[in-house]
Every structure is written in structure tokens, then in C-alpha cells.
Amino acid sequence: MTLSEIAKKLSLAGIEDHGCEAALLVCHFMNISRAVLLADGRTKDYSSPALEKAVEKRCTRYPLQYIIGKWEFFGLEFEVNENCLIPRPDTEILCEEAIRLLKPNGKLLDLCTGSGCIAAAVLHAGKNTVGIAVELYPETAALAEKNIKNLGLADRCRVITGDACTDLFPDDEKFDVITANPPYVTADEMNSLEPELDAEPSHALTDGGDGLSIIEAIVRIYSRHLVRDGVMLIEHGASQADAVKRIAEENGLSCRCIKDYGGNDRCSVMEFGK
């Protein structure tokens, strides 16, 4: 198959960014760089059973990221599989704000960590910062731990398996910044998601209801684990900002919302009143 033929197959399968994805698949399965691919041109034949199988699988709308087994987030490479959500650019705005707010020698708590991408991105950028990442499912926690180790952060970030809807820490354990990207897709919205999301773990996408139950539990339980001038950052859906603000205020926190780079309300920043 040539690069053009692969791109055409992906296009016919309804994949919008077919040219870029074709290049990524060829580079990965032929073990060549993008520069070599460009030099080869679009008509060079790439014969590889693994590549052909991968193209066919992608044409079923199985996620490219799981096929490749890794994905870049915040300039860092993460291993990904069906045990975790695929890291998305929408979440980077949360990381940017957390990095800005986490002071040197600060302590981070990342709930619903999944691949560990938020915890790793924030701590990788921070000076002398430490953290704890919490994940409900053991297989996913193991993946987060592997990613954190691969990025050289194992001595600064501990991964624990636990339910973010319960209090996992003693009363006197406090954090400077608490982050979370919890399941917030509503049950109704699950019926209209793109086909690729069928392969991602549904429990990491939705609470099965209005998308707010886990957010409410996190704010209610973990606000008590913030230092007095600490900050909690929670990712949510574009239409949920007002509801999340109400939850924050009911728990004694002020709340402001920041938008992602698509211009959508994406992350609420909560803190105690000054």
C-alpha cells in the first residue's frame, strides 16, 4: 500500500484527518521518521502485514491511539490502551492552570488519573513538586504508574488505587492543588458520541446520569483536603459550568471557569474565599 492508498481508505471510512493518520500509521509500523516518509513520497509501496492490519482496524473506527499504543499529551509521550481514556488537547488547559498555581515544593493530588497524564504533565513542569495520583481500577492504575515511571517521576508521584467518591486520606493530609478529570458525559450524550469512543472505557466517560455526581462527590469530600490557599481544578462538559459553580459554592468555594482552546467552558477553578 502507498501512503495515498492508505489515506484514501481512511477517508472512505469517514476519518476526517485521514492524511495525518495515514502518515502516523506508516511511520509507526514501518519504523521510519516523518522526514523519511516525506522523502519517500506518497507513491512508495509499504508492504507490511502489521500495517495492513492496522489500517483495516482503523477503518472500523477503532481509535488510532490504541492501535499505535501511545499518544502525546502536553509534549510528553504516554502509553495508552483500552483501560484508559485517550488524553485530549482539551485537558491541556487544566494542566496549564495547575502548573501556574502549584508553587515550588507544592503537593498535588490528581483524582481519576487514568493514564496519569495530568499528574505527570503538572509534576514534570513543576520545581520540587510532589503528588499522589488516584485511580479506581487496578489495571488503569498500573498503566498510570508505568507512564509516571517512564517519565522519570516515580520518586515524586505515588499512584494509589481507590475510589475518588470516598475519602482516601486522613483529615490532616492537605494538598496545594487538587485536579480531576472525572466522568462527566451525560447518559443522553453517550448516545451521540463519535464511533471511536465505543472503544474507550465507558466508566471513565459517564456516571450514567447527569454527569455531575462524581464532580459533586469530589468537591464535597476533597475540599477539606485543600490547604487554606489551595486550589481545586475540575474538568467538565461545556454546558456544565453553571452547575459546577453551584456545587462549588454549596461547599464554600468560589469558582471561575476557564475555556479550552476551542472556546468551550472546560475547567472550573475553585478556592476558598480570601
* Residue corresponding to grid cell 475547567: 267
User: Please, how many CA atoms are within 13 Å of residue 187, restricted to the half-sphere of its CB?
Assistant: 5
User: Is residue 137 located within the same domain as residue 16?
Assistant: no
Task: Let me know: does 136 contact 158? Beta carbons within 8 Å.
Answer: no
User: Is residue 146 located within the same domain as residue 264?
Assistant: yes
CA–CA gap between residue 82 and residue 228 (Å, rounded): 38
User: Is residue 257 located within the same domain as residue 192?
Assistant: yes
β partners of residue 231: 177, 271
Element spanning 229, H or E = strand 226-235
Query: Structure pTM?
Result: 0.95
Walk along the chain (274 residues) and give the pLDDT tens digit of each residue. 899 999 999 999 999 999 999 999 999 999 999 999 988 888 889 989 999 999 999 999 999 999 999 999 999 999 999 999 999 999 999 999 999 999 999 999 999 999 999 999 999 998 899 999 999 999 999 999 999 999 999 999 999 999 999 999 999 999 999 999 999 999 999 999 999 999 999 999 999 999 999 999 999 999 999 999 999 999 999 999 999 999 999 999 999 999 999 999 999 999 997 5
Which residue range(s) make up the domain with 151?
Answer: 82-272
Instruction: Describe the crossing of helices 49-59 and 3-12 by its angle, rounded to 10 degrees.
Output: 20
Instruction: Determine the pLDDT at residue 42.
Output: 80
β partners of residue 179: 110, 233
User: Is residue 136 located within the same domain as residue 262?
Assistant: yes
CA–CA gap between residue 270 and residue 175 (Å, rounded): 13
87 within domain boundaries: yes
Instruction: Determine the pLDDT at residue 274.
Output: 56
Rounded to 5°, the CA angle 86-89-95 comes to 100
Amino acid identity, position 83: N
User: Is residue 55 located within the same domain as residue 86?
Assistant: no
51 within domain boundaries: yes
130 within domain boundaries: yes
User: Is residue 54 located within the same domain as residue 160?
Assistant: no
The total number of structural domains in the chain stands at 2
The cell for 221 is 469530600
User: Is residue 22 located within the same domain as residue 119?
Assistant: no
User: Is residue 220 located within the same domain as residue 100?
Assistant: yes
44 within domain boundaries: yes
Q: Residue 229 sits in a domain of what CATH number?
A: 3.40.50.150
77 within domain boundaries: no
CB atoms within 10 A of CB 161: 16
User: Is residue 89 located within the same domain as residue 55?
Assistant: no
Instruction: Determine the pLDDT at residue 273.
Output: 77
User: Is residue 125 located within the same domain as residue 26?
Assistant: no
267 within domain boundaries: yes
User: Is residue 179 located within the same domain as residue 47?
Assistant: no
Amino acid identity, position 213: S
User: Is residue 201 located within the same domain as residue 237?
Assistant: yes
166 within domain boundaries: yes
Amino acid identity, position 165: C
Which residues, 6+ apart, have CB-to-CB distance to 82 below 8 Å? 66, 199, 200, 201
71 within domain boundaries: no
